[in-house]
Structure 1
Amino acid sequence: MKFSFALILTALLGLRISAAEAQISKKDKNVSSILKNVNPSDLEAHVRYLADDRLQGRLPGTPGYQIAVDYVVNHFKTAGVEPAGENNSYLQTVRLRKAFTNQQAAIALNDGRGNEENLKNGEDFILYPHFEDPQVSLQAPLVFVGSGISAPELNYDDYAGINVRGKIVVIRRGAPQSFPSSVAASSMNLNTLLQTALDHGAIGVIIGAPTNHVTAPKRITGLRLPDGKMAPSGSYISDKIKVLSVFNRQRFNQLLQQANLDTARIYTSLRTGKPASAEMPQVLKATYTNTYQDITSYNVIGKITGSDPVLKNEYVVHTAHLDHMGISTPVKGDSIYNGAHDNASGVACLLEISKLYTQLKNKPKRSVLIALVTGEEMGLLGSSYFTMRPVVPVNSIVANINTDMPTLIAPLLSVVALGAEHSSLSKQVKEAANYLNLSVESDPEPEQNRFVRSDQYSFVKQGIPALHIKYGNKTADGANNLNLTVQQWRETYYHKPQDDINGIFDFKAGKTYTQLNFLISYQVAQNVNQPTWNPDSFFSKTATGK
């Protein structure tokens, strides 16, 4: 049976739709009326506070981040949001470990014919630190595994027919041209590459850099679990992976050529979806030591309890990351990375969404969690911890709606729902967008790999349908090229001290963005059916056993 837009929205939102306008039914009259309570000036006040120099860039483990935590907690208390953290508080403790590799880290290559060469640290290669072993010494053979992807469901597997157990895999990062952008982004994600290598028994990973310049990341940070063990992050997967190294492009190509592998032929083959894995004669020796700095941070989590006696035990989760980059390299004389757009604006939207839910006279059937998470800029660490050690049973989480850097710099006329195309959440997006007279577009910048670059991806890896609302391309003048404006904005502001309250803002657009995200989650919370992955979605495989 086919349902019209009017019938669906009547059932889910309590709205009565006429040909001319959307009207509120008497039963759920407060749903549309409370949308008017989103005030652009309130959004601005949140951003102004959270992006103030006093918070010094909200780096986890610093007094500035604690000020942000206290601000959110006070807001939750004032709004009447229930605590959903540990010990009847709003806080979930997240322990982080910063790891550093010594400057004397060494790699030597034996070509298999008795010739050994010492590589130059910081020039030929960089080594990521190991998060659990202060001292690592390793010797193991190499094996080339193409792009390092194992996706039999897509008829592609770089590991098919080759034994990597006890070896170091050599990966040329990329994905076949036939892969959809979000699938390609997930396949190339460092955490995915490491997990795939581990699943096949590898003990080390070498990745080729796209240029001849390799730079060690400023911060390598991982999660420490309550038992002291480390948990997966974007740069760490297991104590069984002893070596993670990046070779510059020239040295990487030489590595393959010394194994009599034709790099031009191999790279063409990989792009066209034909695996080119091969045994290699070289043996790698690595020796390095690591030092650690352990810090404590927090996710801040509030709850609005649902009204249905059964469905209230299921949860829709809103997320936005509370952290930013702290104090770092000066740009134009400013060294405080305030993170006004990234992501004080996203936090502001969630604070206002939490108020909307508390103002609802009739709460939705399911419960709603509002989670402001830590460590996103360090590798999605706070959201990873939340999904690995959730404050509610992970099987009770039905959907995640993430808000990261909405980029509120122009009127909001259309949106992109990153990830919604993979699940039934696309229906809620379309209904909410129609209600607000917004159009829904496909991603105008698929090369940015945005679906795997923010906290929604932590939920996807746990098999939970998730999405992230971004701006579309529609503009008032009909040129429909907003992505060009966003690109120019990004060059000036993104991850720079210039991203402060004095930058470009359109808080009226922030009002619409807040309303949209609220309406999406409200529909999910009201619908008796849980969101589902599309059967043909690449990400549906992660939902097995959920």
Structure 2
Amino acid sequence: MNLKIKLLVFSALISLAACNQSKPKISDEDGLAAFNADSLKLHVAELSHDSLQGRKPFTPGETKTIAYLQKQFKAAGLEPGNGESYIQEVPMVNIQTTAAADMQVTTSKGSFKLKGFDDYVIWTDKITDKVSFDNDEVVFAGYGVVAPDYNWNDYAGLDVKGKIVMVMVNDPGFAAGDSSLFKGKTMTYYGRWTYKYEEAARQGAKGCLIVHTTEGASYPFTVVQNNWNASKLRLDDRGKSNVYTDINGWLSLPAAKKLVAAAGQDSTNFFAQADKKGFKPLALDLKLSTRVAVKTIFNKSQNVIGKITGTKRPDEVIIYTSHWDHLGIGKPDETADSIYNGAFDNASGTAGLIELARAFKSMKVQPERTIILLAVTAEEQGLWGSAYYAQNPIYPTSKTVANINIDGLNPFGKTKDIIIVGEGQSELEEYLKEAAEKAGRVIAFENHPEAGYYYRSDHFNFAKVGVPALYTSNGIDVIGKEPGYGEKQDAEYTEKHYHRPSDEFDSATWTFEGGLDDLKLFFQVGKRLAFEEKMPQWKNGSEFKAIREKK
């Protein structure tokens, strides 16, 4: 080997050694010791305490919650995430409705009344002092879907201006069990109730009533009843051109069948016709009348945001989210409890943010990308806090590497699996799979994709602006328990505790062993992202892929 070649080889070895020295060796264990079950349980107990009055925005409960989160973010060593502030203000309007006790139904053969709360629930998103149905016509518009990507239009050739549309929950593939319709049993965004109200408004409808089924909605009518004469929040959009129906609402399935029968239709197979291609909307021999009084208050709620500035690429951010809010004080349950504490949903996830902050700050080698911990407001009212952040990002979405959203942490024992919600959406699935395998666990996918959970929490707003978003639910393969035990736990929570006062912290049974294991996986995914240079991508077939590629 001549001298020139020797010098080149020596120079290359020196350069390689320098690169190896400058690139820190990241231990899989770095940061894990900071996670603590007692700490997590303490924060869950505090955030779901009766003194916070159910953490509803615009209440004293919000003030106490925000103060607590700021204190804990500071104690964990987080920097303010919005300039010199831990707060991002979210302009909102509170719309308090008081509906008449019943709804008059008139047909060519007679009239009768439906009872509010028992048969239907209604409200308005309009900023006004009153709204009403005044002997207005009813049209059955199938699923209320206009979906060019699926060659489907329930409003084709239909003029619903000034009329009430009655539509089904979910989308056509669900009830038909036909995988060739939309995504079959897997709900698309067209199946969500929010979409249906938005589309009805775009079509000029005066009102939109969704026919509830427990299977189609994935929760019982008791959850819907929480909206009866309640205050609802949305973003303050004064000065914008957004449109709304006068009245939105839900019909119980028995009430909907009663209306269909009164209109002279066979209620047995009536709704099934909407599952077929070529469905034609149908005007019904029905007219409805009722009144809703409205009071509006404009105010600002608050997202809480802290950060750990990246050491090498601080402009690239990884955002963890959880919603801090719940339903406040509402209708008493059978035990006369009226405080909707929301311990699992979502004091647990918000407490998880604090644990993640402590873990990242404890690392011997600090993240190269910036870590953001974002506790958002008004998820329960329509994902509004995350929607406002996505529309008014503090950190550019083009530089946002990923969103990892936590909406409920497993309060019970360890599980072998962790369930990914939204199969096939992004490469973050592979990140979680690798982290799970290293921990001796496995990933699984949701058993009930018809519930549309990927469209029902705050990660969805990040996905809508192109940011790859990871969302999971509790595993169901509970270690040491018989098959099916975990599914029974989930079903019991949905039936007895979801959006009810009984969602309370249980110091006797809530060990959070499972929740801590899940938190550690979220941490490992974020840690890997924090030291990588590449950006995770959406997968082919994801409806969000094109959005990211435009940025």
TM over 0.5: yes
Residues 181 and 449 of structure 1 are in contact (CA less than 8 Å); yes or no, is this contact kept in structure 2?
A: no
Does 2:418 align with 1:418? no
The corresponding residue for 2:489 is 485
Taking the aligned partners of 2:72 and 2:234, their CA distance within structure 1 comes to 27
Distance 1:152 1:125, change over 3 A: same
Counterpart of 1:370 (choices 369, 373, 387) is 373
Residues 105 and 289 of structure 1 are in contact (CA less than 8 Å); yes or no, is this contact kept in structure 2?
A: no
Taking the aligned partners of 2:532 and 2:161, their CA distance within structure 1 comes to 47
How far off its partner does 1:411 sit? 1.1
The corresponding residue for 1:157 is 153
The corresponding residue for 1:292 is 296
How far off its partner does 1:505 sit? 1.6
The corresponding residue for 1:221 is 232
Residues 365 and 525 of structure 1 are in contact (CA less than 8 Å); yes or no, is this contact kept in structure 2?
A: yes
The corresponding residue for 1:69 is 66
Partner SS, residue 408 of structure 1:
coil
How far off its partner does 1:470 sit? 1.8
Residues 401 and 468 of structure 1 are in contact (CA less than 8 Å); yes or no, is this contact kept in structure 2?
A: yes
The corresponding residue for 1:452 is 455
Once the two structures are superposed, residues 10-48 of structure 1 have per-residue CA deviations (whole angstroms, 9 ceiling, x without a partner) of xxxxxxxxxxxxxxx993245522222222222223223
The corresponding residue for 2:319 is 317
The corresponding residue for 2:51 is 54
Does 2:139 align with 1:135? no
How far off its partner does 1:254 sit? 5.6
The corresponding residue for 1:206 is 209
Taking the aligned partners of 2:379 and 2:358, their CA distance within structure 1 comes to 24
How far off its partner does 1:49 sit? 2.6
- How many residues of Structure 1 are paired with residues of Structure 2 in the alignment? 510
How far off its partner does 1:530 sit? 2.8
Taking the aligned partners of 1:326 and 1:116, their CA distance within structure 2 comes to 41
The corresponding residue for 1:244 is 248
Residues 307 and 362 of structure 1 are in contact (CA less than 8 Å); yes or no, is this contact kept in structure 2?
A: no
The corresponding residue for 2:18 is none
Taking the aligned partners of 2:123 and 2:153, their CA distance within structure 1 comes to 26
Residues 135 and 288 of structure 1 are in contact (CA less than 8 Å); yes or no, is this contact kept in structure 2?
A: yes
Distance 1:295 1:240, change over 3 A: closer
Taking the aligned partners of 2:503 and 2:163, their CA distance within structure 1 comes to 45
Summarize the alignment of residues 5-404 of structure 1 with structure 2, pairs less than 5 Å apart: 27-30=24-27, 32-85=29-82, 88-104=84-100, 119-120=113-114, 122=116, 125-136=120-131, 142-164=138-160, 167-175=163-171, 176=173, 177=177, 178=179, 179-180=182-183, 183-184=186-187, 186-210=189-213, 215=225, 216-217=227-228, 219-225=230-236, 228=238, 238-249=242-253, 252-253=256-257, 255-256=259-260, 263-271=267-275, 275-279=279-283, 288-309=292-313, 312-328=314-330, 329=332, 332=335, 334-404=337-407
How far off its partner does 1:141 sit? 5.1
Distance 1:273 1:531, change over 3 A: farther
The corresponding residue for 2:436 is 433
Q: Which piece of structure 1 moves more, 358-367 or 340-349?
A: 358-367
Q: Which piece of structure 1 moves more, 249-258 or 378-387?
A: 249-258
How far off its partner does 1:275 sit? 3.0
Once the two structures are superposed, residues 336-362 of structure 1 have per-residue CA deviations (whole angstroms, 9 ceiling, x without a partner) of 443332222212221111122233354
Partner SS, residue 34 of structure 2:
coil
Distance 1:273 1:537, change over 3 A: farther
Distance 1:254 1:38, change over 3 A: closer
The corresponding residue for 1:520 is 525
Taking the aligned partners of 1:247 and 1:258, their CA distance within structure 2 comes to 15
Taking the aligned partners of 1:335 and 1:138, their CA distance within structure 2 comes to 31
Q: Percent of aligned positions with the same letter in both sequences? A: 29
Residues 95 and 295 of structure 2 are in contact (CA less than 8 Å); yes or no, is this contact kept in structure 1?
A: yes
Once the two structures are superposed, residues 267-316 of structure 1 have per-residue CA deviations (whole angstroms, 9 ceiling, x without a partner) of 3333456534235576666654311244543211112223344xx33332
How far off its partner does 1:414 sit? 1.1
Partner SS, residue 144 of structure 2:
coil
The corresponding residue for 1:508 is 513
Once the two structures are superposed, residues 475-519 of structure 1 have per-residue CA deviations (whole angstroms, 9 ceiling, x without a partner) of 334734222233345555543346224252223333322210111
Amino acid in structure 2 at the alignment position of 1:382: G
Taking the aligned partners of 2:511 and 2:35, their CA distance within structure 1 comes to 14
Taking the aligned partners of 2:540 and 2:414, their CA distance within structure 1 comes to 36
Taking the aligned partners of 1:71 and 1:205, their CA distance within structure 2 comes to 40
Residues 96 and 224 of structure 1 are in contact (CA less than 8 Å); yes or no, is this contact kept in structure 2?
A: yes
The corresponding residue for 1:21 is none
Partner SS, residue 422 of structure 1:
coil
Once the two structures are superposed, residues 33-76 of structure 1 have per-residue CA deviations (whole angstroms, 9 ceiling, x without a partner) of 22222222222232233233433332333333323222221222
How far off its partner does 1:474 sit? 1.8
Flag structure 2 segments of 5+ consecutive residues without an equivalent: 1-21, 215-220
Residues 95 and 232 of structure 2 are in contact (CA less than 8 Å); yes or no, is this contact kept in structure 1?
A: yes
Root-mean-square deviation (Å): 3.6
The corresponding residue for 1:464 is 467
Does 2:542 align with 1:537? yes
Taking the aligned partners of 2:99 and 2:159, their CA distance within structure 1 comes to 33
Q: Tell which structure's C-alpha radius of gyration is larger.
A: 2
How far off its partner does 1:422 sit? 1.5
TM-score relative to the length of structure 1:
0.81
Amino acid in structure 2 at the alignment position of 1:524: L
The corresponding residue for 1:499 is 504
Residues 331 and 497 of structure 1 are in contact (CA less than 8 Å); yes or no, is this contact kept in structure 2?
A: no
Flag structure 1 segments of 5+ consecutive residues without an equivalent: 1-24, 232-237
Residues 368 and 525 of structure 1 are in contact (CA less than 8 Å); yes or no, is this contact kept in structure 2?
A: yes
The corresponding residue for 2:14 is none
